[in-house]
């Protein structure tokens, strides 16, 4: 992420591990044993947002909470499982996510971290399940690590504003995600907010998983279906980006940070 944030932009309290030396990490561990692992995704976000939208969601929140608390931030994971296959989307399987998260937590624990917050800048039920399964295995198979606390935080679920947009069937590259990008990096948001045809948009409003085309060649409940990207979807926006604003993005960020401040205080109190 060093290409996205210059070290000079960070406050003196920020502890972004990619910019730190061995000595600096060792000294930081004497003051805090809390680390955030930002998890993004490289996937399409319509024609107006960059493929890196979810990476920014995870990284920018992590950077700001580090500025406020002094906790460390591990390098961001830029890939995860989208489920979509429109051009630009790079998927790694949920099973791989499980293994990678397990390995990262083992490594962080061995260095002395005792609070690990996996911060998801990308939703997706399959991806979240894969991450939680990996962390469940990490905790079960390392019963000797009784002093470790692990939290999985979907940033969107910690914002009342975002949850209101979920109720309006705004899920992907719509009002709230465009607002966040207008807050993080407005220069990366394209002016033209294109969506799919109205009938496709109505289909997606009724079911956020309607981007999937499901086919069963054997009509038996024991036979698994083939799932592919629906050929009807050309843009992939599940929401209304025309309703976005920088002010909304700022409000969402404040809500997420407020919740993370409470969580970090609770986790750090548990290991003192």
Q: What pTM value is reported for the model?
A: 0.89
pLDDT, one tens digit for every residue, the chain (272 residues)? 433 444 444 455 789 999 999 999 999 999 999 999 999 999 999 999 999 999 999 999 999 999 999 999 999 999 999 988 899 999 999 999 999 999 999 999 999 999 999 999 998 889 999 999 999 999 999 888 999 999 999 999 999 999 999 999 898 999 999 999 999 999 999 987 888 777 777 777 777 676 767 788 898 888 888 877 777 777 778 889 999 999 999 999 999 999 999 999 999 999 87
Ordered structural domains, the chain, with CATH:
14-195+241-270 (3.40.50.10310)
Tokens of 245: 């604003």
């Amino acid at each position: 992420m060093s290409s996205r944030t210059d070290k000079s932009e960070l406050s003196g309290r920020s502890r972004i591990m990619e910019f730190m030396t061995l000595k600096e990490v060792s000294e930081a561990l004497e003051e805090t044993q809390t680390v955030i692992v930002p998890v993004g995704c490289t996937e399409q976000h319509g024609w107006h947002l960059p493929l890196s939208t979810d990476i920014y969601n995870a990284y920018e929140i992590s950077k700001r909470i580090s500025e406020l608390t002094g906790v460390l931030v591990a390098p961001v994971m830029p890939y995860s499982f989208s489920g979509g296959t429109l051009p630009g989307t790079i998927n790694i399987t949920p099973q791989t996510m499980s293994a990678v998260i397990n390995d990262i937590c083992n490594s962080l624990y061995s260095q002395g971290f005792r609070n690990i917050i996996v911060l998801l800048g990308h939703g997706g039920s399959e991806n979240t399940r894969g991450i939680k399964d990996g962390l469940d295995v990490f905790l079960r198979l390392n019963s000797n690590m009784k002093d470790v606390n692990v939290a999985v935080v979907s940033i969107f679920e910690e914002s009342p504003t975002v949850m209101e947009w979920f109720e309006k069937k705004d899920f992907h590259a719509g009002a709230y995600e465009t607002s966040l990008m207008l807050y993080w990096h407005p220069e990366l948001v394209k002016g033209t907010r294109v969506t799919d045809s109205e009938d496709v948009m109505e289909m997606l409003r009724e079911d956020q998983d309607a981007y999937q085309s499901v086919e069963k060649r054997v009509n038996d409940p024991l036979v698994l279906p083939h799932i592919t990207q629906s050929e009807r979807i050309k843009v992939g926006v599940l929401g209304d980006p025309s309703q976005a604003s920088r002010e909304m993005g700022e409000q969402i960020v404040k809500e997420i940070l407020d919740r993370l401040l409470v969580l970090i205080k609770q986790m750090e109190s548990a290991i003192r």
